[in-house]
Amino acid sequence: MNQRMRSTRARLRRRAPDRPGLRFDWAVERLLHGSRPHRTRRLEDHERRVEAAAAALFIGAAAALILLAPSERNFSPGIAAALVLGYALASRVRLYVGAGSTMPTQLVLVPMLFWLPVATVPLAVACALVLAGLADVVRGRAPAERLLTAVPDALYAFGPSLVILAAGEPAAGDVGWGVVALAVLAQCVADLLASTVREWVGRGIPPALQLRVIASVYVVDACLTPVAVVVASAGGALHGSAIVAIVPLLGVLAALALDRRARIDELTSRLDELREERRRHHASIRRVGEAFGSGLDRPALLEVVLRTAMEALGADRGCASAAGSDVEAGGGAASAERALRGAGAAAGAAGGIAVAAEGTTFAVAHPLGRPSGGSATDDLVAVARHGRAFTDDEQALFGYLAAQMSVAMENVELHERVAREARIDELTGLANHRHFQESLALESERMRRFRRWLALVMIDIDHFKSVNDTYGHQQGDEVLRHVAAAIRDATRATDTPARYGGEEMAVILPDTDLDGAFQAAEKIRRSVERLRVPRPAGDALRVTVSAGVAAIAAQPSDPADLVATADAALYDAKRGGRNRSVRGVATPAARFAR
C-alpha cells in the first residue's frame, strides 16, 4: 500500500488534557512524528524481529504465488525493469494528506497488474521499494534496516493481484469496473491487515489508531485508480500515450509534494524549537525550585542561577563569584576561558554588562551588586558559547537574571547578618547571652551522654563602674572590647567565650576538669592583666579581672547549677581582693577521671 509508516515505539498513552475531541488527533500526530522521511531511526530489537518475520512471510508467499499461479502473459525483463524503476521513482513522491501520507504509486501499480504476469507483481513491488530504500541508505539518509522494512511493505500487493488472477487476468481495456473496485478493496484490506499487525506487534500502536491514520490514504488510492486503468488501457507497455498521461501527472504531484514537504519541514523545525524552548523553560522552573530548596546557601544559589543563565542562553560554559564564593559549570576550549576573563574584566571595570569574543567564542558578563565609588568589582556572573554572538534580547535577559541574582545575594548577606546578630554580641564580638545558654545546654547534654567533663569560667572586670564614671561609657566600651579580645585569644577553638551581661563574661570549656578550668582562668586573668587600653588623652588604662571556676562530670545536673557554682566562686574572688581566680565546689564523682 502507498502508506509506509516509520512510527515511534511510544505506546501513545498520553493524551491532551483539555477537550476530549482533541485527544485522538494529538495521538495521531505523535504517531506521524516518527514517520517523516527525514526522521528515520534505527529499529529496536523487538521491531527488527517482527520486520524480519514479515519479510520472510512475504518472500514465501510471493514464491508460492509464482509457482502456483502460472500466467499466460509473457514476462518481459525490459518492461518489468521499467515498471520497477517507475514505481521506485513514484514512491519518492510523498504527499501528506489528512493524518497520513501517500505516494502516487497507484499510477504504476495498476499498469503492473495488466502488463506483467500478475503472479510477479508483488515481487516487482518489493523490488521497487527496496530500490527506493537503497537510494536513501547510500545517501546516508536512512539506516540499512530500511531495506528490511521495505520488503513487507509490499504485502498489500497480494490483494489486487489475487483479484485480477481470479478474474482470469483480463486486459485493461476489457476489465469491468466492478473488478477494479473489488481489486482496490482487496488492496486496502490487505494493507490494513499487514500494517496493523506489524505496527501493533512491533510498535504497540493500536489498530483503531492505525485505521485513522491511513483512511485518507485509501481515498487517494481510490481516486488515482481510474486514471491508472485508463492509462493502462491506452496502449501496450511503455506506449507513448501512457507516458504522456502519467509523466505530467507525476510532475504535478511531485511539485505539490515538494511544496508541502518544505512547509512541513518548516513547521516541524518550529515545533522542535518550541519543544526545546519548553524544555529550557521547564529546566529554568526546576532550577528556581532548586533555588528555593537551597535556601540561603550562597554557593548553591550561585550555581543554580549560573546554570539557569546557561540554560536560557544556550551557553557552554559559565562562572560566577560573590563574597568569596566561586562556582563554575560546563566545559569548552581555552578560548572560552579567555573570553570569560575578558568579559568579566570589562564588566567589573564598567559596572555593567559587557561582552567579549575570542575567535568564534563569545562571552557576556554582568556584575553582581553595585561597585562602591565606581571601583571595579570581582563579584560577577559570566557565560560563554561557541559559534554565535549574544543578541540584544539575550543580553537583556542575562542582565535581568544578574539583577535578580544581586538581590538574592543581598538577601543572603542580610540573613547572615541577622543570624550573626542573633548569636553574637555586637560590641565584643563574643557569643551573646542567648547563644551562651544554648551552647551550655548542648554541652551539658553531651557531657552526660559521653561521660565527659564540662567546666565554666565566670569573669568580671574589676572596678568597671568607676571606669565608666571616670572616663565615660565610650571608654568603658573600649575596655570591654579589649578584654573580650584577650579572652578570645586565650581560649581554645572548642571553647565558647560569651558576654554574660554588662561587664561580666563567661567561657564554656568542654572536656575540661576543675584544675584545667582553673589554669584556663589564670591564663585569661594574666592576659587581661597585661592589657593596656589606650585613651584619647594618650595614656593607657590597666585592667584586671576576677574569675570563678566550676566543673561537673557525667552526672545529671541542671546547667544553672554550674552557673551558680561558678558565679559564687567569682564573688569569692572579688571579696578576696579581686584580680584572682577561685575554684568553686567540684561536683564530679570521685571515681571519674578525665
Give backbone dihedrals phi and psi of 297, rounded to 5 degrees, phi first.
-85, 110
Which is nearest to 428 in space by CA: 510, 470, 518, 489?
489
Helix (H, G, I), strand (E, B) or coil at 361: strand
Longest dimension (CA), the chain: 137
Helix (H, G, I), strand (E, B) or coil at 317: strand
**Distance between CA 57 and CA 264 in Å, rounded?**
35
CA 273-277-280 angle, to 5 degrees, is: 140
Joined grid coordinates for residue 257 = 509534494
The answer to whether residues 548 and 567 touch, using CB atoms and an 8 Å cutoff, is: yes
Burial grade of 266 (CB within 10 A; 0-12, 13-18, 19 or more): exposed
**Distance between CA 221 and CA 231 in Å, rounded?**
15
CA 384 to chain CA mean position, Å: 19
Which is nearest to 96 in space by CA: 22, 39, 150, 32?
32
Joined grid coordinates for residue 269 = 523545525
Q: Which residues pair with 508 in a beta bridge?
A: 456, 496
| Element housing 314 (H / E) | none
Catalytic residues: 503
Joined grid coordinates for residue 317 = 560554559
**Distance between CA 588 and CA 80 in Å, rounded?**
110
The answer to whether residues 453 and 512 touch, using CB atoms and an 8 Å cutoff, is: yes
| Element housing 547 (H / E) | strand 545-553
Q: Quickly list DSSP for 86-149.
A: HHHHHTT--EEETTEEE-TTHHHHHHHHHHS-GGGHHHHHHHHHHHHHHHHHHTTSS-THHHHH
CA dihedral 159, 163, 165, 166 (to 10 degrees): 140
Which is nearest to 326 in space by CA: 282, 379, 372, 280?
379
The answer to whether residues 146 and 136 touch, using CB atoms and an 8 Å cutoff, is: yes
* Identity of the amino acid at 540: A
**Distance between CA 180 and CA 162 in Å, rounded?**
12
**Count of residues making up the chain:** 594
DSSP state of 44: P
